[in-house]
Amino acid sequence: MKQIRTIENLDTAVRIPGSKSITHRYLIMAALAEGRSLLSNTLWCDDTRYTAKALKSLGAQIIHSPEAAEVTGTGGKLEHASKPIFLDNAGTSMRLLTAVACLAQGDCVLTGSDRMHRRPIGELLAGLRPLGGIVESLKKNGCPPVRIHGKGLKGGRTLVDASRSSQF
C-alpha cells in the first residue's frame, strides 16, 4: 500500500477557465448597465461572440480580447435592431436575448440556423407575455425566429414551463 503525503504549504496561483454561461450573463448585465464595465476571465466562443454581436446591434459598445471585454452599457435604454439578429445555433443567446430585447424600444427579430428554428422557445414566449412582453414565433410553431415588439416589461409574476429546455 502506498502512503500519500499531504502538502503542508502550497504557494501557487490557479487560473480557472472562463465560463460560457457566465460570459453570456456578464455581457448582458454590462450592456444593460450605465457606463463602462471591464470583464475579465471571459470565455470567447461562437456562442458568446453571437451574444456580444447581438448586444452591439442593440446599442452596447463591446471590445474584447481573448480573455477580457470592455463594455459600455446602454443604461437600460436599448436600441431596436434595424435588421434581424442572427444567432446561429446559440440556444442560450436566443433565450436570454429574447427577454433582453423586450427592453428595446421597437421591433427586433432574432433568428438562427435551420437547427435553431427547430428548438423550442414557446414556453419562454408564454412566460414573457404576462410581464408585458409582446413576442411571437414568426412560424407560429413555438420555435425561432421570434419577433419582439420592444416596449419594456412591466414586471410582475409569471411561470415558465422549463420541462423542454434547461436554458430558460
Cβ within 8 Å of residue 24, ≥6 positions away: 47, 48, 51, 92, 93, 96
Residues forming beta bridges with residue 150, ordered by sequence position: 106
The owner of cell 434547461 is 166
Domains defined along the chain, listed by start: 20-150 (3.65.10.10)
> Kindly report the CA angle at 64 between 116 and 94, in degrees rounded to 5?
20
- Taking residue 26's Cβ as centre, other Cβ atoms within 10 Å add up to 21
Rounded to two decimals, the pTM is 0.89
- For residue 167, the model assigns a pLDDT of 65
Can you give the pLDDT at residue 163?
Answer: 86
Q: What is the pLDDT of residues 88-111, one digit of tens each?
A: 999 999 999 999 999 999 999 999
CB 101 within 8 A of CB 112: no
| Residues of the chain scoring pLDDT < 50 | none
61-65: strand order across its sheet: 36-40, 68-72, 61-65
